[in-house]
Each structure stands twice: as C-alpha cells, then as structure tokens.
Structure 1
Amino acid sequence: MRRLLAAAAAGLALSLAFDPVGLALVVPLAVAAFVLTCRGVRLRRGFLTGLVFGACFYFTHIFWMTAVAVPAWLGLAALETFFIGLTGAAAAALTRHRWWPLTVALAWVALENLRSTWPFSGMPWGRLAFASVDTPLERLLPWIGMVGVSLVWALAATALAAAVVSWQARSRAGVRGARRVREALVRPAAGLASLAVLTTLAVLVPWQGDVVDTAEVAVVQGDVPGDGTNVLNDFRQVTRNQADETVALAAQVAAGEAEQPDLVVWPENSTAVDPFYDTQTHAQIERAVAAIGAPVLVGAMVDDGDDYVLNQGIVWDPETGAGDRYTKWHPVPYGEYIPLRRYADFTFGELRTITRDMRPGTRTDPLDADGLLVADLICFDVAYDDTLQAQVSNGAQLITVQTSNAMFINTHQLEQQFAITRLRAIEAGRWLAVASVNGISGIVAPDGSVVATTPKRTKAVMTAQVGLVDDVSPGIRVGPWLTRGAAAATVLALLLALGTDLRRRRGSSPVPQETTDGPGDGLTDAAEPRSGDARTRLTRSPR
C-alpha cells in the first residue's frame, strides 16, 4: 500500500511539470520515485503500480478532454494509463539486473513512443520532452530531437533512483561516513554530471541553420462567434471573419502601414464545408486572396466521397487558385473518425454526430507557396514526430501549424499545445507560424521565443519577417533512429532479464538476483552471497 500511495503521489507530481504549472524540475524526481516503487516487485505488481502512477498522472494531465466529452476523457486516459502500467512491469523486470538505470530509461522512452503512435495513432501528450520548454534541456532538441530529450529526462530520473538504492544498500551494510558517500554516489553522480555537461554544451554551442532568405508571413486569427467553443454553430461567419481580417490587412498594406506578406496563414476549420463545392465559402476565399495578392494557406474541410472527409491545408494562389494541399496525418480517433466502424455500431451518444470518417494524409513533401517551401502541421499533428521529420527532411524552410482549439478555449490544452509548438520550432531550427481560429496564435523564432502573439477570443493579424532555413538539424535526422534503437534495446533487455529470471527459478536453490560488483553496484534488489555461510544464512528455513 505504501508503494501504491507513493506511485500515486509521483503521478500527480509529474502532472505539475506541464502547463498550467510548468514545474519541469519535478520530472526526474517524479519518475525516479515511480521507478523505486516498481523495484523489487513481481511483474504483476509492477504493472499495478504503473497503473496507479499512470492514472494519477494522465487523468490529471488531459483533464481538458472533458471539454469534448467525459467518456472521451475516461477512455483515452485509461488507454494511456495501460501503457504506463506496462512501463511499471518493465521496470519491475529490469531493475533486478545490472545496468538497470540505462535499460529502465530506454524502456520508458520505448513505451512512451509506443503509446504515442499506437493504437489508432496513439496519443503523444505527456511525453517527458514536452516539459522542456523554457529549460536548458530545450537546447538539446536540435541535436537529439524529442526522443533524445525524453531519454535524457529518463536517465536523470534513473540516476537519482540509483543513488537512493545505492545509499540504502551501503547503509544496510554498515558503511558510514565518507566511504558511504563515495561508494554510493560516485557512479550516479557521474551519470548526472555527464547529462549536465551534455546540456551545457548544447547551451554554449546552439545549433543554428544558415538563413538562405527571408519572407514576410502573416497569421490570421478570425475568432469564433458566440461563446467561442464551437466553430460549427456559425461556420459561415468563421470563414467571413478570416476573409475580413485578410482584406483589412490588404488595406493596411495599400496604405503603407504594413509590409506586403509573402504568405498568409489561416487556421484549421477556416471553412467547415468544402470550398470547392460551397459557392459562398469559395467566394469568401477568392475575395481575400485577391485583396492581399499573396498565397493564403487555407484550413478547409474537403469532401472525399460520401463517407469520408479530409482536413486540409490548401495553398490558395491569387493567380492560379487552389494548389498544393497537405492532409492531416493524425485524425483524432472517436473525435474525427470512428475506428473499426465497419465491425460495430457506434451510432450512440455524442459519437452519433461523427457521420463521416476523416481520412489521414500521407504527404511527405513540403507545400510550395509561390516558391516558399512550407512544412504544414494541422492541430495535434504538432505532437507527433513523423510528419515534421518527413517534411523538413524533404526541404521545408518554414513551419506552419493550423489549429482549431475552440472547444478547448476555456482549458489549459491551449497552453500545453503552444508549448509543444515552441519546442518543435527549436527542434527543427526553423521559424514557425501558428494560426488558431481563436487562440493561441503566434510567430515563433528558431530559439523558441515568441515574437508575436495575440490574446484568445480576439480578431487579429500578426506579421513578421522570418528567416528561411534549408539545413536539417541533427535532431530531425537522428530522431527516427533513436526511436528504433530504444525499442530494440528494450526488447533485448527484457528478453535477457526474463530469461535470466526463468533460469534462476528453475535452479536448485533460490539465489537473490542482486550483485554488488560491477556496473550494477548496489543498484538491484539484494546483495549476492559471497560465501557458503552467507548462502546458508539466506536459504535457512525460519525457526
């Protein structure tokens, strides 16, 4: 019970690392406490401990999902909690063996990546790297990417856990004074020092891509009528607001009060109906594009037959009309499509409103906006690694994020997503423009600083001159390899650990699985017997 209570407290503490609190320092402390609660128990108890930790963390972290529906919050949080339970079971298995500070950290990252992508696209919210905004660790992002930064956080946590275990082992052995400090803390301290040196180097030698050109970018936030939570209540006014703000910008440009933009970014759900078939919507877009005389990246819902819809960013050129399109890669399950619809009837409750499934996109090339190469991300796409890595690797010079967070306008989801957005700019080493239908919109520099933003629930246009970068950061290149490496290393470590445990259980006598020699000095369950007398004492039946 003490372990479960400690795991619950650690899970709640980890939620404080993210907005609205943003206390990143608790990340290694909370994860270290979680690892310690899983150490020394069987897999089933490790799984249970992980469930308790995961539930207290995740149900708190994404409480904003209740704005969609309470069942959606319960279902999604429960699914993610299951994966954190698996992390607890993995920690229980791995902490019985040498090198566990490394293998447990790798297992955390591997299972974090798994739950972020599977099933049904997964849910990346709550990755350790997302707590790095405005901390020194954010400087590591262009060097080692999101996966690498999550691994650094996890290694810091397991090093702390190793220090606690080693200190307790020396205390039980009767080691005192300077010797206990030296024997217990030297190795964990060396690990933490290595991570500190790595971070310091990233701060002192930041990665910067060469700026090959500049562009003037405008971001439009048109606002949503009514209480601001539903873009569908008056979707025509939403489109009209975007067009009106763009036309107003064009008037400022004509009067010499603003620079002529090279690109105008509208948010997701700028049109809730297909602009190629709805004449009113089409006319509003044409009016705005003709006035501004520059490509407008329109966030539109586009029909794909009778049963499907596409969530797209469409480059609308003043001369050639609609051109390149990016289709959202990661539609939200049970929010934008119904998984397994063909096998079960989901036409009940709020799911009844999802009459058509949203197809995912596959585009890997950046959009061409009159020669400006743009990596587009739509809403939750910004939390996934794959689509950004693909577009930047294929030549994108600028990043845009189109989002419609209207239903979350009164929650902390907006701040959490904006923090992730800033981290993506740092990771890719590129300027980023984010357009939200009613907040939070902004323009972010490659160092993560916000050069322009506007309050929520307001109509506004932001403009800024941005640099265009062709270089691909190391973090974008190594990210996929770190993901695969963490998964492979975790599978191998678990197979070795479980195989060793099985052989021990089949042995003639139970031998504790601890050793005080080598790299795992004092970091596993109990001391390995060093003599026949010690073995006799350990295996003697109690009187």
Structure 2
Amino acid sequence: MTRTTSGARGAHPAVRRGVRTPRDQVAPTPALAALVLGVLGGLGALAAFPPYDLWMLLPFAIAALNACVLTRRWHVAALASLLWGLAFFVPLTIWAKTYAGPAPWLALGAFEALYIVLYGLAARAVLVRRGIGLGSGIVLAALWVAVETLRSTFPWGGLSWGSVAFALSDSPLLNLGPWIGTAGLSFVVALLAQFLCGGALALLGRRHRGVRGLSGVWPMATVVGVVIGTMVVPLPKNPAPSDDGSMTIAGVQGNVPPIDPESLAMPSEIFPNQLTATADAVQQVREDGGQLDLVVWPEDSTGWDPRADASRGQAITAAAQDAQAPIMVGTQTPTDDGGRYNNSLLWTTDGTVAGVYAKRHPVPFGEYIPYRSFFRTLSDKVDLVSSDMKAGTQPGVFDVDGHGVGVLICFEIAYQDLVDDVVDDGAQVIVVQSNNALFGDSDEAIQQVAESKVFAVVSGRSVVHVSTVGQSAIFTPEGRTLDYQDHWTQGSVIGEVPLRTGTTPAVAAGRWPEIVLSALAIAGVLFAGAGGRRAVAPAVRRRERAAARGGSSR
C-alpha cells in the first residue's frame, strides 16, 4: 500500500528543510538558454563599441549575462559567462593579431574572458540567494565595477580596453562622466542592466513577485527615464574657462604605407611625410590669417631620436621656425642597458628641447615582454619586440608659452589615473600621441579615439588626439569634435582649442569611487553567501525529485 507523507507532496526542498524563502522568487534559466544568452550577450556588448556604436545594447548585453548565470548549477553559469566573455573580447581585441599573431590574440581574448567568469560566479552567488531586487542590483553593479577595476590593473598594469565608459562616446549617459568618472559610468550602466534583467524576467513570467505584468513594466520605464534624464544633465561649473582662452593647435597626421607585420618596422616615409604635412598645415593656418601656438606630431614620428641625429634635428627646427611654434614629436630613445624609452619631446624654434616625457604605462607584449623566456616557448613572435620599453616615472605636462599641455602616449588614454595625474599637475589641455599604424586596418584606432572623446568630457579638458595614420581628432571638454582626419590619410587636425583650469568632480575623486564600489561588492557577495534563503531553487537530487513527485512508500 502506498501513501503520501504529510507535507511532502509538491513541497520545495528548501521549504522541507525549514529554510525561509524570500518574497522574490526567480525561475532558474535552463542550461541551453543560458549558453545561448551568453553568446548573444557578448556579441551585443561588442556591437555597443566602435565602429558599430550601438551603445544602447550594452545594458541589454549585461542584463543577458545576469540572466544566463541564474542557473541551478554553477558550472553552467561559469560556461555561459565564459561564452559571453569570448564573444566579446576575442573580436574586440582582434587588432592584437596584427602584430602578435593568432595564438597570442586568442590567448588575450580568452584571458580577458576569465574576468567575466569571475563576475558571473560572484553575481550568481548574489542572485540565487537574494533575487533580483534593488539591493542585489546595487551589489551587482558595484561588482561589475570591481571586476572591471581588477581587469584594468592586474596583471602587468592590466588592460582597460572594453571598459563600459568607452562605449558611451556618443551616448547621453556621457553627460554623467565629469560628475562620476569612468567607474561611475560603469556602475550606472550595470545597474540599468539589472533593472532590464528583472523587468524582462517578470514580463516573461520567470520572476514571481506581485502582479507580474506591472512588476516588469516599471523597471523598463526606469531605464528609459534615466537615459532621457541624462540628456539635460548640466556640466560642472568647475573646470572653468582659462583666463588665457584658447590655443591654436595643429595635430599632424603624416601617414605611411601599411607596416610589415613580420618586422613591425616603421616605414622610412614617416619622417618626410610629417614634414610635408606640417608645411601644409602651416600654410593653411597662414591663409586663414591665424597663428599656431603648438604643432603636435604622433608617437614614433621621427624614426630615430632627433637629439642624436643632426639632420633630423635641423629639419624639425626649420619646421618649427616656419610654424613659429614649438613641435611636440614622438620618438624612441635607446638606453645603455639595451632597453628604450617611448619619449615625447617639446622641440622649440631655437632647436632646443624644452621638455621630455617618457611613457609611464608601456603595454605588455606590445612594448615589452614579461617573462620573455617562458612566453618564447609559446610563440616566437615575442622576439619581434627586440628591446623592452622602460616605464617613465613622472606625469608629462609641458609649459608651452605659459600654458600647461598634458601628454599621454597611445594606450595611456585608456586609464583614468593617468589622465587624472596630468590634470592634477596643471594640464589645461591634453595631447595624445599614438601610432596606430601598428594595427593595420583593425578597429583599434577608432576605438582609441573614442576613448579620447570620453576622457575629454570626464576630465573637463580639450583632447588633441594625433595618430600616424588615423584616426586623429580634436575634442572640446563638452565632447564636440573640432576637427577630424580619417584612417590612412595625410593631413592635419587644426583648431582653436579651449583651455580649462580646475578639476571636475570625477578627477577630484580620484580612485575612491573604484575603491568604495569594490568594497561594497565584496561585502555584498559575502553577505549573500552567509544567508540561508534562496531565490532560485538549487539543483534537485534524484531522490528528492522522486520524493516530491510521489512521496514515500512502505
């Protein structure tokens, strides 16, 4: 004879064990759906960045990631997170294939994807215990910032490429940038993603709280309202316009043929092309009745250090005298121990060097090889970087006729702490010198110029971004584009560039937003793990499923 044990039929295993169940219940995401969401979410994140610029997809992409980790089994959540990371980072960093080859490029994409796995597993720990409420949303948004901060600092100084803020160069959300910085922008987008995730699950009937339809509408409406609201966010009153008003700056893009990926040597045409394009820019300004205050050449624009090459030095001096303005040139300077510095030199009209800046954040595997003997066993491409670049120690701010001109070289524009340093040291305008010829026809150049636009707004400084082959641009502190040169063209960007003094709230805050939000994330994950209740059912064992279906027999 068979009978049902009292209270067993239909009871959730957590209920039978006497564990309190939260009001917010979420149906787990099936394994196959989680894996599909992972791939689609990563591709959606990719489409949010240049050259596609569909920034509005980014909250949906992170929402898909949050939904795909809502699984009963942690290893499914880990795999879905990995797929999200691979679908995003592998195509985003394809520019690395140009100089490193396929294997290192794929290794880079896979390594960056591991950070998404870290986020996914920590996010799952919060969601399965606490559900999709405002509290868990804040913790998850802070967790996204914490993982993004870790990715941007570790190892070897990290790689900030693909940070949320850099997808927002054409978004109204960027108006929040000077107030909350890049970490704050990441927090806002990740929080909006959690609203989208909760709303979508409620509308699909997978989140059980209150009236399902209404509980799914208001989160969606909140997201729309926040985005619309940012269109009218005012800029901070500080930084203020400088008493000196502006500088007329020409950024010269000499252009070169594509670089041989086997040798990675800059074509010899770079120096004469820079001289020709500089003469054209000076003539253009002269015809318009203007007067240049500064000419900027890109990174690696001289081929050899002109301080050690008399003929090149004389040619630069003649060009500066013709322009009646100093020229900021980029060059490589060898050291006695076989290394080198990536230098920016301020070359004056009398042939002297009034300032030297050495790049502070060399790029691992691009400009130096950590653990060279080990990585040589994985790829012989490491020996293409024949000498390791050394890091400078001081922020670069040049005095140009009484104006503070901050200097960043190439990838340095992707790090807020480096931008903050030059502003704190008195930069009234920021110059970025880059050599995008190393990355061929990839999207690296357009992604980098978008970073310059983001930091123009965040820092409250005009940014003059100059590349050997493009893209080059001048951005105002409000994010307006004063001039622009496309890829693989010879020309210049010329503008009367506004100067600013003072600091935005974002710059004044420094790294504290990252520190505070990271601490909040760690505390939130630990608190969720210490709780006994669950919003998502755990994986049910076979014996428990049988008991729930038919009870016990005797």
TM-score (norm. length: structure 2): 0.84
Q: Deviation of residue 70 (structure 1)?
A: 1.4
Counterpart residue number, 1:116: 152
Q: Superposition RMSD on alpha carbons, in Å?
A: 2.8
CA spacing shift, 1:162–1:471, aligned 2, 3 Å: same
Q: What is the CA–CA distance in structure 2 between the aligned matches of 1:138 and 1:320, rounded to whole Å? A: 42
CA spacing shift, 1:347–1:284, aligned 2, 3 Å: farther
For 1:262-277, what aligned pairs fall within 5 Å after superposition?
262-277=293-308
Specify which structure has the bigger relative contact order, considering alpha-carbon pairs within 8 angstroms and separated by 6 or more residues: 2
* CA deviation map 1:373-416 (0-9, x unaligned): 11211111111111101111222100111011013241222221
Identity of aligned residues (%): 31
Counterpart residue number, 2:508: 477
User: What is the count of residue pairs matched by the alignment?
Assistant: 506
Residue 432 of structure 1 pairs with residue 468 of structure 2 = no
Counterpart residue number, 1:517: none
For 1:465-504, what aligned pairs fall within 5 Å after superposition?
465-500=496-531, 504=532
8 Å Cα contact 2:472-2:484 kept in structure 1: yes
For 1:97-246, what aligned pairs fall within 5 Å after superposition?
97-98=129-130, 99-167=135-203, 179-183=211-215, 185-186=217-218, 188=219, 192=223, 195-196=226-227, 199-202=230-233, 204=234, 209-212=239-242, 213=244, 214-224=246-256, 226-227=257-258, 233=265, 235-246=267-278
Amino acid at match of 2:137: P
8 Å Cα contact 1:142-1:207 kept in structure 2: no
Q: Deviation of residue 428 (structure 1)?
A: 1.4
Amino acid at match of 1:157: A
8 Å Cα contact 1:48-1:88 kept in structure 2: no
CA spacing shift, 1:347–1:412, aligned 2, 3 Å: closer
CA spacing shift, 1:233–1:58, aligned 2, 3 Å: closer
Q: What is the CA–CA distance in structure 2 between the aligned matches of 1:221 and 1:314, rounded to whole Å? A: 17
Q: What is the CA–CA distance in structure 1 between the aligned matches of 2:368 and 2:181, rounded to whole Å? A: 30
Q: Deviation of residue 100 (structure 1)?
A: 1.4
8 Å Cα contact 1:425-1:445 kept in structure 2: yes
8 Å Cα contact 1:430-1:469 kept in structure 2: yes
Q: What is the CA–CA distance in structure 2 between the aligned matches of 1:270 and 1:304, rounded to whole Å? A: 19
**Which secondary structure does the structure 2 equivalent of 1:297 belong to?**
strand
CA spacing shift, 1:348–1:48, aligned 2, 3 Å: closer
**Which secondary structure does the structure 1 equivalent of 2:128 belong to?**
coil
CA spacing shift, 1:183–1:238, aligned 2, 3 Å: closer
Q: What is the CA–CA distance in structure 1 between the aligned matches of 2:64 and 2:145, rounded to whole Å? A: 17
**Which secondary structure does the structure 1 equivalent of 2:346 belong to?**
strand
Q: What is the CA–CA distance in structure 2 between the aligned matches of 1:345 and 1:67, rounded to whole Å? A: 18
Q: Deviation of residue 478 (structure 1)?
A: 2.5
Match of residue 62, structure 2, among 13, 18, 31: 31
Q: Deviation of residue 97 (structure 1)?
A: 3.5
CA spacing shift, 1:163–1:227, aligned 2, 3 Å: closer
* CA deviation map 1:237-289 (0-9, x unaligned): 31222123324444566x65452211110000112323222334333323322
Q: What is the CA–CA distance in structure 2 between the aligned matches of 1:435 and 1:131, rounded to whole Å? A: 20
Amino acid at match of 1:13: G
Q: Deviation of residue 335 (structure 1)?
A: 1.3
* CA deviation map 1:314-365 (0-9, x unaligned): 1112236112222222222111100123777569522112121111223235
Residue 74 of structure 1 pairs with residue 106 of structure 2 = yes
Q: What is the CA–CA distance in structure 1 between the aligned matches of 2:485 and 2:301, rounded to whole Å? A: 18
**Which secondary structure does the structure 2 equivalent of 1:319 belong to?**
coil
Amino acid at match of 1:259: G
8 Å Cα contact 2:82-2:114 kept in structure 1: yes
Amino acid at match of 2:175: R
8 Å Cα contact 1:346-1:352 kept in structure 2: no
Q: What is the CA–CA distance in structure 2 between the aligned matches of 1:491 and 1:398, rounded to whole Å? A: 37
Q: Deviation of residue 115 (structure 1)?
A: 0.8
8 Å Cα contact 1:271-1:300 kept in structure 2: yes
8 Å Cα contact 2:178-2:235 kept in structure 1: no
Q: What is the CA–CA distance in structure 1 between the aligned matches of 2:146 and 2:96, rounded to whole Å? A: 25
Q: What is the CA–CA distance in structure 2 between the aligned matches of 1:359 and 1:315, rounded to whole Å? A: 20
Q: What is the CA–CA distance in structure 1 between the aligned matches of 2:224 and 2:483, rounded to whole Å? A: 37
Moved more, 89-98 or 273-282: 273-282
Counterpart residue number, 2:37: 6
Q: What is the CA–CA distance in structure 2 between the aligned matches of 1:344 and 1:455, rounded to whole Å? A: 36
Residue 259 of structure 1 pairs with residue 283 of structure 2 = no
Q: What is the CA–CA distance in structure 2 between the aligned matches of 1:413 and 1:365, rounded to whole Å? A: 24
For 1:133-532, what aligned pairs fall within 5 Å after superposition?
133-167=169-203, 179-183=211-215, 185-186=217-218, 188=219, 192=223, 195-196=226-227, 199-202=230-233, 204=234, 209-212=239-242, 213=244, 214-224=246-256, 226-227=257-258, 233=265, 235-250=267-282, 256-319=287-350, 321-341=352-372, 349-364=380-395, 366-500=397-531, 504=532, 513-514=533-534, 524-525=535-536
Moved more, 42-51 or 366-375: 42-51
Q: Deviation of residue 84 (structure 1)?
A: 0.9
8 Å Cα contact 1:42-1:92 kept in structure 2: no
TM-score (norm. length: structure 1): 0.86
Q: Deviation of residue 35 (structure 1)?
A: 0.1
Q: Deviation of residue 196 (structure 1)?
A: 4.2
Q: What is the CA–CA distance in structure 1 between the aligned matches of 2:264 and 2:314, rounded to whole Å? A: 19
8 Å Cα contact 2:239-2:502 kept in structure 1: yes
Any gaps of 5 or more consecutive residues in structure 2?
1-31, 539-543
* CA deviation map 1:450-503 (0-9, x unaligned): 111123222213321111100211122225111111211112122222333xxx
* CA deviation map 1:101-147 (0-9, x unaligned): 11111111110121122111221111111111221101111111111
